[in-house]
Amino acid sequence: MLGVIQNLRNKILKLASSDKRVRLWDEAMFPEVGFLTSEKVSDLESILNISIRNKSLYEQALTHRSYLQIAETETKISSNERMEFLGDAILGMIVAEYLFYLHSDVSEGELTKLRSRLVNKQSLAYCAEKLGLKPFIVVSASAGKSLKSGNKSIVADAMEAVIAAVFLDHGIEYCKKFIVESVLSNIMDEKRLMKDSNYKSLLLELTQSVGMGIPTYEVVQTEGPDHDRIFTIEAHLQGKSYGVGKGSNKKSAEQNAAREAYHFLQHKSPS
């Protein structure tokens, strides 16, 4: 690990000392898959309101990991997971910058809450569906069923990966414009944003206010293949289950369990 870090440090310092703007990726990182035909590229440009210079970037951004099992290509292709990582960081940075300048009277804690409401999976999935991104995502048959049944994680991850594709294709300023005009404009619904949807936080505040202690969360069931996991989690208080939630990851399942427990305790008749 030390050698990897040292090598990374040397490369970063070399780039920082260069006077020229260096493109950090090459064509080999994004081999063409072939599912984005000319017609589909045109349709994608239309819904995203962008121009596409390198379609291979967008093909990788729209490739769910389950598709790798069935893809019939001579070249090795990659899923959108690495691009999702990059897109998440870019989106977080740009949203944080706008919030910092536009809300100078808001505290750090409130800025953090607002940013989390803007860039969470639910908001990104909502944006992707409003844009019409879902039909462009390639998945396996089983993941496709999950997508049709409303799996928000797959479309949210693709949205983040598309942000990375726009950045790699055009640079940061173009990407900022895309995020403001095509992403934030679709998710900045004031009523939806101002409603605190962090039920784990709400449940903790409620239980501590009535002396019930701190909730704990326990995974009681895990089912489905690796690319389509469903977790069932219970929210416990004082050794008793007060809510059960399901989700495609532990975080969302915990939120759903907390939401059920929160509503139950809120409407519980006084004993």
Q: Name the pairing type of β-strands 240-247 and 216-223.
A: unpaired
Answer yes or no: do 231 and 136 share one domain. no
Decide if 7 is inside a domain: no
Answer yes or no: do 75 and 181 share one domain. yes
Instruction: Give residue 149's pLDDT band: very low, low, confident or very high (50, 70, 90).
Output: confident
Tell me the CATH number at 91: 1.10.1520.10
Among 163, 194, 225, the domain-final residue is 194
Tell me the CATH number at 254: 3.30.160.20
Cβ atoms of 164 and 83 closer than 8 Å: yes
Instruction: Give residue 269's pLDDT band: very low, low, confident or very high (50, 70, 90).
Output: very low
Residue that is written with structure tokens 């939806």 in the block: 192
Answer yes or no: do 113 and 54 share one domain. yes
Domain enclosing residue 245, as ranges: 199-266
* Percent over 90 (pLDDT), the chain: 47
Answer yes or no: do 122 and 235 share one domain. no
**φ and ψ at residue 245, rounded to 5 degrees:** -140, 150
Cβ atoms of 266 and 244 closer than 8 Å: no
Q: Indicate which residues carry an active-site annotation.
A: 88, 160
Per-residue pLDDT tens over the stretch 52-75: 999 999 999 999 999 988 877 767
Answer yes or no: do 184 and 252 share one domain. no
Decide if 224 is inside a domain: yes
Using DSSP, state whether 22 is helix, strand or coil: coil
- Selected residue with higher pLDDT from 11 and 212: 212
The separation between CA 267 and the C-alpha centre of its own chain, rounded to angstroms, equals 33
Decide if 13 is inside a domain: no
Which pTM value belongs to this model? 0.70
Q: What is the mean pLDDT of residues 42-54?
A: 96
Cβ atoms of 36 and 58 closer than 8 Å: yes
Per-residue pLDDT tens over the stretch 85-142: 999 999 999 999 988 988 888 888 888 877 887 888 888 998 999 999 999 999 988 8
Answer yes or no: do 205 and 109 share one domain. no
Answer yes or no: do 173 and 150 share one domain. yes
What domain count does the chain have?
A: 2
How much is the mean pLDDT over the chain? 85
Q: Which pLDDT score, from 0 to 100, does residue 177 have?
A: 94
Among 164, 194, 224, the domain-final residue is 194
Decide if 40 is inside a domain: yes
Q: Residue 243: which of 261, 259, 268, 265 has the closest Cα?
A: 261
Among 148, 173, 194, the domain-final residue is 194
- Selected residue with higher pLDDT from 90 and 226: 90
Answer yes or no: do 44 and 163 share one domain. yes
Q: Which of 1-15, 163-177, 199-213 has the lowest mean pLDDT?
A: 1-15
Decide if 9 is inside a domain: no
Cβ atoms of 257 and 243 closer than 8 Å: yes
**φ and ψ at residue 231, rounded to 5 degrees:** -105, 140
Answer yes or no: do 134 and 151 share one domain. yes
Q: What is the mean pLDDT of residues 150-177?
A: 93
Answer yes or no: do 188 and 203 share one domain. no
Q: Which pLDDT score, from 0 to 100, does residue 270 have?
A: 44
pLDDT surpassing 70 at residue 191: no
Q: Which of 18-32, 65-79, 106-120, 239-253 has the lowest mean pLDDT?
A: 18-32
Q: Which pLDDT score, from 0 to 100, does residue 12 have?
A: 66
